[in-house]
Amino acid sequence: MPEALHNPLLIASAIVTGLLVLSWVADRFLVKIAPRLAGLTRSNIDDRLLEILHRPLSISVFFTGLILSLSYIKAPESAVFYTRAVSYTILILVWSRTLIRISNLVISVILNRVGDETGLGQNVIPLISNISRVVLILTAGFLLLSIWRINITPLLASAGIAGAVVAFAAKDTMANVFGGVSIFFDKPFKIGDYIILDSGERGEVVAIGIRSTRIKTRDDVLITIPNSIIANTKIINESAPVPKFRIRIPVSVAYGSDIDLVENTLLEVAASTENVLSEPSPRVRFRSFGDSALNFELLCWAREPSLRGLTLHQLNCSIYKEFDRQGIKIPFPQRDLHIYKSGPDMPS
């Protein structure tokens, strides 16, 4: 019996049998108990993760135990090396596939959640998934080469040179990608906001992509701006921090006008305009004494920036009609010319 305990073949058989039992127990736990715990949550993400992790975890229990038990088995060095290398290879292949599936799930969930705010299209999901897949496959390849003791120094040097060449060739694209990432995290605007670019264009944000941002002007013209420019320019967001938008209307009346009547008339016009909010309340300010007019300003709030043009039109029309009805004169620039006729006492 003591000799049997030192028999490498029997020890190996006992270890393999024990690992198979442990792997089966882990498999039963993941099939029977873990789904019930995941069912207590509202999200179905944990259920999908369990479905993905179920088989890899069971396999990992077996091969991880096998790797750890190799030190207790008195076997030739070459046999230990190949057994360990094959075990690591299987684990890397299994977990590479698993991580690819998990990354696809995470990317899909995250992009779907931010899609409503950023306008990131569903067509971007395959692009990001492919990038993550390539990174994971390359990482797995380097790990496999290292496990099988293949010199990867020349490959790393070649990859570094190739990466530098690609980065230099795609520097503008990469700048736009990083600009898009900064927009996603900083969130200076979102879909539906009205923004004014530093160059003067004004429009509604309709899409925020990985490479560019698109805004639609009031003339239904679509403007595409690279994210690298968006991230490094001044942006005025008329929809933030609140969607309502303040409107200022300068009004001039003739000297001698009843300023109390002017103020009350402007407030009544603002109160009767559909798109003007009652809170904050409209107000009138007497700004200055002009050359030929008293300069007032009506300040009120529109419901949203998209109504600015319509609200200005409605207010201007109503002010003009109401001033005419109230007899309030709106002056216009004029000059008096005095013509003198030459006479005996006047120079010609």
What is the rounded CA–CA span in Å between residue 200 and residue 205?
15
How large a percentage of the chain has pLDDT more than 70? 81
Looking at the structure, tell me whether residues 91 and 13 fall in a common domain.
yes
For 289, the domain range is 245-326
- The residue among 74, 127, 64, 132 whose CA lies nearest residue 94 is 64
Looking at the structure, tell me whether residues 251 and 229 fall in a common domain.
no
Indicate whether 195 belongs to any domain: yes
The CATH number assigned to the domain holding 264 equals 3.30.70.100
Q: 């039992």: which residue's tokens?
A: 21
Indicate whether 336 belongs to any domain: no
Looking at the structure, tell me whether residues 266 and 303 fall in a common domain.
yes
Q: Which residues are within 8 A (CB) of 206 and not within 5 positions of it... i.e. 6 or more apart?
A: 119, 191, 214, 215, 216, 222
Indicate whether 217 belongs to any domain: yes
* pLDDT at site 1: 43
* pLDDT at site 142: 86
For 65-220, where are the E strands, in sequence order? Answer: 194-196, 202-208, 212-217
Contact 286, 296 (CB under 8 A): yes
Dihedral (CA of 24, 26, 30, 32) sign: positive
Indicate whether 67 belongs to any domain: yes
* pLDDT at site 346: 55
Of the three residues 220, 237, 254, the one that is the final residue of a domain is 237
The residues facing 214 across adjacent strands are: 207, 224
Q: pLDDT category, 254, cuts 50, 70, 90?
A: very high
How many domains, in total, are found in the chain?
3
Mean pLDDT score, 211-236: 88
Indicate whether 42 belongs to any domain: yes
Termini Cα distance of the chain? 145
Indicate whether 340 belongs to any domain: no
Looking at the structure, tell me whether residues 253 and 190 fall in a common domain.
no
Indicate whether 295 belongs to any domain: yes
Looking at the structure, tell me whether residues 148 and 17 fall in a common domain.
yes
Looking at the structure, tell me whether residues 51 and 144 fall in a common domain.
yes
Looking at the structure, tell me whether residues 82 and 189 fall in a common domain.
no
Tokens of 301: 């709030």
* pLDDT at site 68: 75
Mean residue pLDDT across the chain? 81
Looking at the structure, tell me whether residues 38 and 144 fall in a common domain.
yes
* pLDDT at site 266: 96
Digit-coded pLDDT (tens) for 130-148:
778 888 998 998 899 888 8
Q: Which long-range CB contacts under 8 A does 172-178 form with residues at least 24 apart?
A: 172/226, 172/228, 173/211, 175/226, 175/228, 176/210, 176/211, 176/212, 176/226, 176/227, 176/228, 177/210, 177/211, 177/227, 178/227, 178/228, 178/231
Q: Which residue has the higher pLDDT, 196 or 49?
A: 196
What is the rounded CA–CA span in Å between residue 303 and residue 118?
22
pLDDT(46) > 80: no
Tokens of 340: 């003198």
pLDDT(3) > 60: no
Dihedral (CA of 39, 40, 41, 46) sign: negative
